[in-house]
Amino acid sequence: MPDQADSRSDMSGTRSAMSGTRSDMSGTTSNDVDPLKVTIIGAGIGGLALAQILSSSPEIQVTCYERNASVDDRVSGFRVMLSGNTLGILKRKLRSQTWAHIALGIGEQPEGGEKIEFFKGDGEHMFTWDSDPTRDQFSVSRWHLREGLVQQASFLRSGIAFEGYEILPNGRARAYFSDGSTDECDLLVGADGPNSRVRKQLIPKATINDVGMAVIYFKVPLTERTLMLLGSSGRSMVNPLSLPPT
């Protein structure tokens, strides 16, 4: 699912360095209670989706930092699969304009739901992965998803790289950035991918284990021959180990 541009997202795997107090910032809500200040590191799909949802609450002040100068030009990468439940939550929680843009990139679900076909390199069918979670998946354009999530993103600070954080005596967190600036918050969220600097500091002994497998996504022209290889309207995967030697 993830490519280098969007690996931060895969919507799972965000990590938090939490504090136990509310912000002592000057801004207050209508109930005269200081809003919870949330700082998100990483503007991938996961970080942007979280920021969009949190920013709709008047009781939360959110800022999202991205090390790259631009986050709206990453047109590379394959489509991402999201469940109907996930899409339903996004539709309810996101602003109508944001959701309308994302909805343009949601593919039609095949009859009977999604399933994944596995083939050998010579086209021989190996097996079909057909489970309830798989059937409830919708193919969503990463480009439309990212373009939608950066709509009305006043919380976004791009071109600023996160370098580290410290926990303050009052329980809040102070984040340090490459331009010399700092930001204090009640909740620090690491949505900065598999090489997350937030995770490395929060859980320094955590490691990424190589399972010895790789998934390669690709696109091919839809011809009569390739259509016959698919065998169904679901997704297909080819076992590269069975390809003849060259």
- pLDDT recorded at residue 55: 92
Question: Inter-axis angle of helices 45-55 and 84-93, to 10 degrees?
Answer: 40
Across 133-139, average pLDDT: 78
How confident is the model over 46-104, as pLDDT tens digits? 999 999 999 989 999 999 999 988 765 555 567 888 888 999 999 999 989 899 989 98
3-state secondary structure at position 53: helix
Structure tokens at 97: 């304009």
In 3-state terms the chain splits into helix, strand, coil percentages (rounded to 5) of 25, 25, 50
Total-model pTM = 0.70
Q: Is the model more confident about 244 or about 78? A: 78
Looking at the chain, the number of H-run helices and the number of E-run strands are 7, 13
pLDDT confidence tier of residue 244, bands split at 50, 70 and 90: very low
Burial label for 194, CB within 10 Å (0-12, 13-18, 19+), is exposed
CA within 13 Å, CB half, 184: 12
How confident is the model over 189-237, as pLDDT tens digits? 999 988 899 999 999 998 888 887 666 666 778 788 877 766 555 555 5
How confident is the model over 1-58, as pLDDT tens digits? 344 334 443 433 444 444 444 444 444 445 567 899 999 999 999 999 999 999 989 9
